[in-house]
Amino acid sequence: MIRVLSFLAILLATNANAQDLAMPTSARQISERISPLDSYDLPTGAFANGIVPARTVEGRVERTTWRVQSGSSTTLQILSPLRDQLAAQGFDIIFECDSRNCGGFDFRFGTEVVPTPDMYVAIHDFRFLSATRGSDVLSLLVSRNPPDGFVQLIRVAPVEASSPPPLVIEEAVDGTLGILQVLQRDGHVILDDLHFSTGEVALGDGPFSSLRLLAAFLNENPRVKLALVGHTDDTGDLQANVAVSTKRAQAVRNRLIETHGVAADRIQAEGVGYLSPITSNSTSEGRYTNRRVEAVLLVN
């Protein structure tokens, strides 16, 4: 109960930015990504007719996540004090839902979520809300993986028209690294903002921040090349999965070439099917995690 009540202090100042939020002592900020000028599709309704209704807003976009020792607290117990604070600060709640009413899996993968491990979303146990206050807009996403709770705040504030368009900044918080830092440190990185359903090879419309970052990285490092490697879950036989994973990698390669202007000879696409899982395929969450595309750094 003490942990739940301590959330009442989470949003103190009316004009506070995401990085200034007062969190309870049990909370740890996991990540913070700041785009001084970017766009965000703010969900305004539940998944229906194949889409999540959204309002596109532009400005300074702050994407911040926290891990909280929630114990047996429900997602509503985590979200409710945050919602009360938003109301006290003058925000209007324009949309709110729980996992079932949001649209479950379809809503989760139809809206923007900070990539794992910085944000965890249980498909059947999350809550979401969108709020506005004048030209300020934000969304809150809350989920659980007991004994921990996870909170994601995406906030968009207007940028003065006279301000020059700055570069996107990806900041590390508490030792977490951005995808380019991981790519250079480890030689490979999972592109966590991409998603493919079982058996599907088409890449969504995006935009995908990972692809923008990779394109900029290649532009700044002309001697570097990338291999895109597709992976699947273990549904079906190996030959079919290798074909699917290759097509997924090719879809990402095509997007980098056609949308981001990357030279075709700088990227190759391969697929290995289900031969390199990063977690068990015994759960739907595990199968989702294993369906991925990784970027491999080629420096020679």
Residue type, 296: V
Q: How many residues does the chain have?
A: 300
Give how many domains the chain has, as a whole number. Answer: 2
Look at residue 164 in the predicted model and tell me its pLDDT.
Answer: 43
**One domain for residues 47 and 185:** no
pLDDT tens for residues 91-124?
999 999 999 999 999 999 999 998 888 899 999 9
Yes or no: say if 93 and 137 are a contact pair by the CB < 8 Å rule.
Answer: no
**One domain for residues 27 and 152:** yes
Look at residue 17 in the predicted model and tell me its pLDDT.
Answer: 43
> Which CATH number goes with the domain that contains 135?
3.40.1000
pTM: 0.54
Look at residue 230 in the predicted model and tell me its pLDDT.
Answer: 93
**One domain for residues 31 and 133:** yes
Of 160, 170, 136, 220, give the one whose Cα is nearest residue 32. 170
**One domain for residues 151 and 189:** no
Domain membership flag for residue 169: no
> Which CATH number goes with the domain that contains 225?
3.30.1330.60
**One domain for residues 199 and 255:** yes
Place of tokens 């690294």: 177
Q: Could you tell me the residue range of the domain that residue 191 belongs to?
A: 177-298
- Higher local confidence (pLDDT), 266 or 21: 266
**One domain for residues 184 and 54:** no
**One domain for residues 151 and 240:** no
